[in-house]
Homo-oligomer: A and B are copies of this chain.
């Protein structure tokens, strides 16, 4: 292929394409098994072109994680009037973001080594919600809120992977399932 500018070439398009391919590959193969050569091959450009738009492999990956993190923080910082609906609303919003950005979600939630930051923040938010819930029902004998929050996070992570990102359940359905698991339980099920 000749050197120089391609016919009809467009920088922003190339950058976007590279970004997309990178997201795709990072999310399916992880950081270490995604080579710059893979990314540029998928985007049908050469390696130097990658460095025209991104500082380094590391910084691109980091940017992706940062974006995911920021998006998530924005969702979590939204305020709702009624405390009662918080749980359902927050979880559904989260899941809706996940299904709208499945590959970024995989990166930010499962691949990045900084994912613990996001998870910590999620747990914090859940603790808040559960505390509010608890205040509403003061005589309730409840589990350690931290434990329930972590458990809830685990459930979300797992269900997202198993049902949401595989398109077997919608965000709304899963949010309701989670609500039901964590808040609606008939006495009959109690076995001891």
Contacts and interface: CB of A to CB of B under 8 A. Distances in A.
A141 B186 contact: yes
Contact of A181 (B1, B133, B148, B162): B148
A147 B133 contact: no
A147 to B, nearest CB: 5
A183 interface: yes
A151 B133 contact: no
Query: How many copies, total?
Result: 4
B188 A187 contact: no
A182 B183 contact: no
A152 B178 CA distance: 11
A142 B189 CA distance: 9
A184 B186 contact: no
Interface residues of A, number: 48
A143 interface: yes
Given A32-B32, A150-B163, 18 more contacts: A1-B11, A32-B33, A84-B191, A133-B189, A133-B191, A140-B189, A141-B186, A147-B159, A147-B163, A147-B181, A148-B181, A150-B162, A151-B154, A151-B178, A153-B154, A153-B158, A157-B157, A183-B189
Interface of A: 1, 11, 31-33, 84, 87, 133, 136-137, 139-144, 147-148, 150-159, 162-163, 169, 174, 177-192
26 contacts: A1-B11, A32-B32, A137-B188, A140-B189, A143-B181, A144-B177, A147-B159, A147-B163, A148-B181, A150-B163, A151-B155, A151-B181, A152-B155, A153-B154, A154-B154, A154-B156, A154-B157, A155-B158, A157-B158, A179-B192, A181-B182, A183-B189, A184-B189, A185-B185, A185-B190, A187-B187
